Structure 1
């Protein structure tokens, strides 16, 4: 099992430019599909979607560079008109709408998570990946999402109102998605070095 994991991620790391581009585009499309799985809440213009699940899965599989590039493709092509934002929307109007900050957060968080799982073997365990994903989700994605929402509303809402429309309703679902990705990461991420990791050679006894 470990041999197969190491071989796959080494192949992904050493693959040619064309292969990496295809993987990045495929995961961008996967994010677009997950964006259509959504639940609308009456008090917020931001729907609950499966996008964060796709963002984090992209990051742990494609790594520090191409995970972020894949999400850049998703946001860029969506802004240029590909209708794969939530609700089959696309274009600059959709990008500059209430969810624009979350979209920017997707890109940054994918680079962030991809960096850690590529560079540190220690980050590939359930107990270490889970807090990293929590930080990426709530500090980066929710943080930028709420800041964007605040500006989008003309800075006319209080902090409590901002949290009610931009963060609090999504916490239970986000934690469930983060736990699922952490469990998937524990299973698929190699616990041995494949690309010159900082902590290569160290032995970890983590869950």
Structure 2
């Protein structure tokens, strides 16, 4: 029992030192970390399932967005996703299907990409500045809130895209194309991401 408690105490000290180190890095090293999580998001984008009734595919990106936001923290969580979106828009082939180009931002799923940036900034800022958000239930609630933000921006552009390419959809049709197919998987990703984040982030204030 004593050995287990000693291990847990050492683990808590180690993760606190890790996040203190991350917070004290010079901006260029934080930029490299952000680039790394942008690449991780691009890798997660290749886990893709296409559905016949919607132009928006299912991917694993949300998991990388949420965990990356906690690891990168205040401001830099959003920067990581901004790098992902910006480099993808100019041609880096790390959007789904190993593709890139600005047409993704103008397409049916472009709003979700912008939602990644806003959601990552929100999660990174709150998890860094409010230690209470690092508890398991709070992390899950924060991640579900971030998912709602992604859906909100995604649906706005999806609606505009559908209006430009067909008749305006009803609210139910929009939800069938832009939310309902993704909801079970996104809830699962939020649960898994909150578990990972709870394990790695210190509960004490570190910045």
TM above 0.5: yes
Q: Are residue 189 (structure 1) and residue 201 (structure 2) matched? A: yes
- The residue aligned with 2:100 is 90
- The residue aligned with 1:42 is 52
Report runs of 4+ in structure 1 exceeding 4 Å deviation. Answer: none
Alignment of 1:61-80 (within 5 A): 61-80=71-90
Q: Are residue 142 (structure 1) and residue 154 (structure 2) matched? A: no
Q: Are residue 58 (structure 1) and residue 68 (structure 2) matched? A: yes
Give RMSD over aligned pairs. 0.9
Distance in 1 of aligned mates of 2:81 and 2:48? 19
- The residue aligned with 2:7 is none
Distance in 2 of aligned mates of 1:70 and 1:3? 26
CA contact (8 A) 1:56 1:181 kept: yes
Distance in 2 of aligned mates of 1:164 and 1:114? 30
- The residue aligned with 2:187 is 175
- The residue aligned with 1:129 is 139
Q: Provide, for residues 48-84 of structure 1, a one-character-per-residue CA deviation record: whole Å limited to 9, x for no partner.
A: 1011011001101000211110100000011111111
Tell me the TM-score normalized by structure 2: 0.92
Answer with 1 or 2: which has the greater Rg. 2
Distance in 1 of aligned mates of 2:182 and 2:102? 25
Q: Secondary structure of the equivalent of 2:30?
A: helix
Q: Are residue 157 (structure 1) and residue 166 (structure 2) matched? A: no
- The count of residues paired between Structure 1 and Structure 2 equals 194
CA deviation after TM superposition for structure 1 residue 18, in Å: 1.9
CA deviation after TM superposition for structure 1 residue 158, in Å: 0.5
Distance in 2 of aligned mates of 1:157 and 1:6? 49
- The residue aligned with 1:203 is none
